[in-house]
Structure 1
């Protein structure tokens, strides 16, 4: 696809990504449940292609946990998060989406990991769990579309399942990563073609009237609690 520079999605540049990454790490402390940059990107990616729009006041508590003490810092961090959020659908539209992944240290050196991204993605599903759960239980197509994400999540221990899964080979892992942009576009199209029913919307309204508390660390094979 040929794209002029003024049409290219306004994504965060490397300096902005580093700035947001430093802020999230600084405020994560020792709490392993707090999302870092890769997790935030996974969360926002799930919301971007999900069944219904999600307002910032719904997802920001999943990302920001400490009160700002400086107005300028608050404005800057919120602006970076807004830009990151807005860039996802734009990147998908331009076939330019790339997941933000983390790294783990191994004896062979740094290794790319999708664990944080998958954790964030699963939390994005959790935010509108009544709609996702009902549809996943009734429509095998949606489960099939999410296959590469689920395979990565199981492999990284983010998703637990009663079914037996063999650990992915390096080639299979890389293939799943390569398929993520296609998965997101397919899931996005699925919800556009099969929007939530009145019953699913009603279930969501009822569920969101009660604070569900922090999301669980482990999921079952159907992205449910």
Structure 2
């Protein structure tokens, strides 16, 4: 019975067995796709996976910057050559692109079953904007404005809209922390230390999305 699969999925989550919960939620949804309990469990478990993959994509981009070992001076005053190097770094490697593709697919999987799940829609808006601000901003704003219209009491949505509706002057709208150039580390006296401005995440403190 689907209800049993849902109960088993809940129990697996409580035990911290995420893979088992993921499998059971898929089985429950496949057996009875219209069952509300099965749909809810599927959305919860798959949304958690989408969040993990989204965070992984962001971290993959930061690690990619570190792997490329782009040089910068200790005063963080970029020469034209360094500025060009960072422009090149903004182009995602195939590994980072795959990470974003996986996160996007996971979000779409949630929305396929629960198209009105506002958390999944918020996550999708953040991901498309984070991946490519120039092309993603209109799509992200469209999603967020629809959510705001559907639930005017949700204060998080207009706050997010204000953060992304205009290019961020502080980071030149790259999303990278302007203090560490998205690396999460700053070099001082030839030593790398965690950037205190972004807490090592490489994200712009003002617009908050990488």
Per chain length, whose mean CA-contact separation is higher, i.e. which structure has more relative contact order (CA < 8 Å, sep 6+)?
1
Largest Rg, 1 or 2: 2
Using the size of structure 2 for normalisation, the TM-score is 0.26
- Higher normalized helix content (fraction of residues): 2
